[in-house]
């Protein structure tokens, strides 16, 4: 969550995550107290540093479902800013079992490395990372071809431990991406994983 509080700026909203204690980030006047609200209920407060940056992580886990975060800033003179525009987040908790190396090839996880919400992306979830990292397993030495909506976007090799990792060279566009992998020369295609670029 970026640029909220007394100063606002554009940032993607509507993330889907399984993180029940997401870290929120924003900007306000240096030294200002920032109050954080979730669905109109105050869940905590923090203080902007000398550069005007602040971060906040809830002490208690948030429930599954829709969350709408807003903030207000209070400066040293006691002036209270207007409430920020809402920043929305959906928390969905799913059990996901990585694919074993002895089974069909697959994408064990897709990692978001950019923006305020980082970490594993749920299948069908949203991300603002245009170059998310894909991880998986396979037989050492196998060449793994990665496809996006049926088109090849790159390849990588399974290491000696049976692991592989791939980060696209070209940014993924906004919209839906159906990612899958193929073992070269074996013609085995994995089940696809769907993500949505914001």
Q: What confidence category does residue 180 fall into, taking pLDDT thresholds of 50, 70 and 90?
A: confident
- What local confidence, expressed as pLDDT, does residue 107 receive? 84
Question: Coil, helix or strand for 56?
Answer: strand
- SS3 of 155-194: the string is EEECCCCCEEEECCCCCCCCEEEEEEEEECCCCEECCCEE
Q: What is the pLDDT of residue 73?
A: 95
pTM of the model: 0.50
Q: Which domains does the chain have, with CATH numbers?
A: 15-91 (2.60.40.10), 106-197 (2.60.40.10)
Q: pLDDT tens across 52-82, in order?
A: 999 999 999 999 889 999 999 999 999 999 9
């Amino acid at each position: 969550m970026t640029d909220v509080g007394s100063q606002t700026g554009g940032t993607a909203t509507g993330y889907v995550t399984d993180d029940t204690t997401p870290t929120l980030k924003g900007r306000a006047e240096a030294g200002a107290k920032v109050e954080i609200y979730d669905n109109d209920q105050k869940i905590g407060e923090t203080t902007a540093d000398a550069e005007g940056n602040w971060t906040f992580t809830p002490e208690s886990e948030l429930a599954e479902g829709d969350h709408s975060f807003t903030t207000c800033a209070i400066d040293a003179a006691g002036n209270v800013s207007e409430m920020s525009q809402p920043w929305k987040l959906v928390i969905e908790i799913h059990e996901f079992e990585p694919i074993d190396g002895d089974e069909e090839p697959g994408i064990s996880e897709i990692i978001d490395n950019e923006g305020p919400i980082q970490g594993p992306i749920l299948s069908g979830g949203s991300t603002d990372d245009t170059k998310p990292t894909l991880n998986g397993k396979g037989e050492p030495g196998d060449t793994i071809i990665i496809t996006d909506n049926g088109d090849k976007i790159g390849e990588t090799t399974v290491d000696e431990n049976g692991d592989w990792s791939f980060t696209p060279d070209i940014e993924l566009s906004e919209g839906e991406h159906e990612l899958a992998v193929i073992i070269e020369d074996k013609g085995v295609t994995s089940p696809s994983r769907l993500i949505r670029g914001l």
